[in-house]
Structure 1
Amino acid sequence: MMGMNPRQMKKLMRQMGIKMEEMEGVKEVVIRLENKEIVLKDPAITIITAQGEKSYQIIPGSEEVRAIVNVSEEDIKLVMEQAGVDYEAARKALIEADGDLAEAILKLTEE
């Protein structure tokens, strides 16, 4: 297949029943693992359909790995009460503090 121009390649793929299309407007792709997330920013995604099966080829613009922090409802309520903030602010502060109650409360009360 060396030396084949793109037009010939597309024709051959069409004859083999393979369809390729670019996915537009994708901002990020998130891969969630048990204890972390891999975030692929501004990816180029190609959807390849062959024999009725779809495959996604993802080429990331940049990659970010985030640890997943699980916070309990009890911890969120405690931070809400102590810092005098709403649910989302308390949850966000706990996640940013890796679940550390004291750090989350201090951060919220210093603002």
Structure 2
Amino acid sequence: MFGGGGGLDPSKMQQMMKQMGIDIDELDAEEVIIRTSDEELVFSDADVQRMDAQGQETYNIVGEPERRDPGSTTVSDDGADDSNDGIPQDDIELVAERAGASEDAAREALEATDGDLAAAVTQLK
């Protein structure tokens, strides 16, 4: 398309892209997750670029994903990894401590009480 056979000088390429209204930024991404109905693709330490072409943003991800079953990991609003059916680990530990029970028993009680901490403790006592 551009001819020359040897490729373009990166600075010339950036200049041309700028003239066409295309901006590219490198993002310092720690993790990228793509969820589909069949699987989750988790990219750790991926190279991510954001390209803005006339107001339309496009993301380019370069890396090798880890494949997971959908829903095997959820991320809470605070960014913590909650792999306990949506029940925060802090809640499980609190119920286990207050009831003098194991974390597994606390998790089951929280699931049975729809996450109600007081009801879970009462159930275990």
Task: Indicate the residue corresponding to 1:57 in structure 2.
Answer: 60
Give TM-score, length-normalised by structure 2. Answer: 0.53
Task: Indicate the residue corresponding to 1:98 in structure 2.
Answer: none
Task: Indicate the residue corresponding to 1:37 in structure 2.
Answer: 40
Task: Name the count of aligned residue pairs.
Answer: 81
Compute the displacement of 1:69 (Å). Answer: 5.4
Task: Indicate the residue corresponding to 2:25 in structure 1.
Answer: 21
**CA deviations over 1:39-96 (Å, ceiling 9, x no partner):** 1111100000001000000001x3211113586x9xxxxxx9xx843229x88xxxxx
Which amino acid in the other structure matches residue 11 of structure 1? Q
Which amino acid in the other structure matches residue 55 of structure 1? T
The share of aligned pairs that are identical, in percent, is 32
Q: Are 1:12 and 2:32 counterparts?
A: no
More RCO (CA 8 Å, sep 6+): 1
**Secondary structure of the residue that 2:65 maps to in structure 1?**
strand
RMSD: 3.2
Structure ranking higher in helix proportion: 1
Task: Indicate the residue corresponding to 1:103 in structure 2.
Answer: none
Compute the displacement of 1:35 (Å). Answer: 3.5
Compute the displacement of 1:34 (Å). Answer: 1.6
Structure 2: 5+ residue runs without aligned partners? Answer: 73-84, 88-95, 112-125
Compute the displacement of 1:4 (Å). Answer: 2.1
Distance 2:66 2:48 in 1: 17
Structure 1: 5+ residue runs without aligned partners? Answer: 74-79, 92-111
Stretches (4+) displaced over 4 A: none
Compute the displacement of 1:36 (Å). Answer: 2.2
